Amino acid sequence: MNGKDVRIGVSLLVGDIENMVQFYRDTLGFQTQWSGGPFADFETASGELSLFMYSRKEFVKAIGEDYVLPKGINQTFEISLWLSNFAEVDLEYERLSKLGVQFPTGEPITYPFGIRNFYVADPEGNLLEIGSTSET
């Protein structure tokens, strides 16, 4: 794959696709043409990464194995959403706060290694890191 023009996509296997689409579309602001069904795809303005959702029930049928859902916060991965600068991170935190979103790690933090971020958990417990590596 190295050296090829590869587009990266991340797929979330979800239990309640309608609730998850609503959160990613209406709360986080991702664009989607989803109008029902077991699959949804989302776009960002940058177009650099695709986010997909697929019904866990349908996926389990495809692979022929049961799925055991993690309890609480899913600590097996995170999705990182990188903004242009620290000020945008703070603005996004304020916007999401007004919508009643919960933050497992609290307010944005600036780390000595140059990242400012905070975390959100989606309705199914997947962690989203919202951050930036640029002060300006």
CA 53, distance to chain mean position in Å, is 10
3-class DSSP string for 85-100: CHHHHHHHHHHHHHCC
Query: pLDDT digits over 94-116, tens only?
Result: 999 999 998 999 999 999 999 99
The pLDDT confidence band at residue 10, using thresholds 50, 70 and 90, is confident
**Pairing of β 39-43 and β 109-110:** unpaired
pLDDT of residue 67: 79
CATH 3.10.180.10 domain extents, the chain: 1-69, 70-136
Q: Which of residues 55 and 47 earns the better pLDDT score?
A: 55
- When pLDDT is averaged across residues 56-71 and rounded to a whole number, the result is 84
Per the listing, tokens 């940058």 go with 46
Secondary structure percentages of the chain, helix, strand, coil, to 5: 25, 35, 45
Distance, CA of 40 to chain centre: 13
Fold of 70-136: 2,3-Dihydroxybiphenyl 1,2-Dioxygenase; domain 1 (3.10.180)
Nearby residues of 81 by Cβ (< 8 Å), 6 or more positions away? 28, 128, 129, 130, 131
Pick the CATH number of 1-69 from 1.20.120.530, 3.65.10.10, 3.40.50.2300, 3.10.180.10: 3.10.180.10
Report the predicted TM-score, pTM, of the whole model to 2 decimal places: 0.85
Percent of the chain with pLDDT over 70: 98
- How many of the other CB atoms lie within 10 Å of CB of 64? 6
Mean pLDDT computed over 83-98 = 97
pLDDT at 48 over 70: no
Distance, CA of 96 to CA of 70 (rounded, Å)? 25
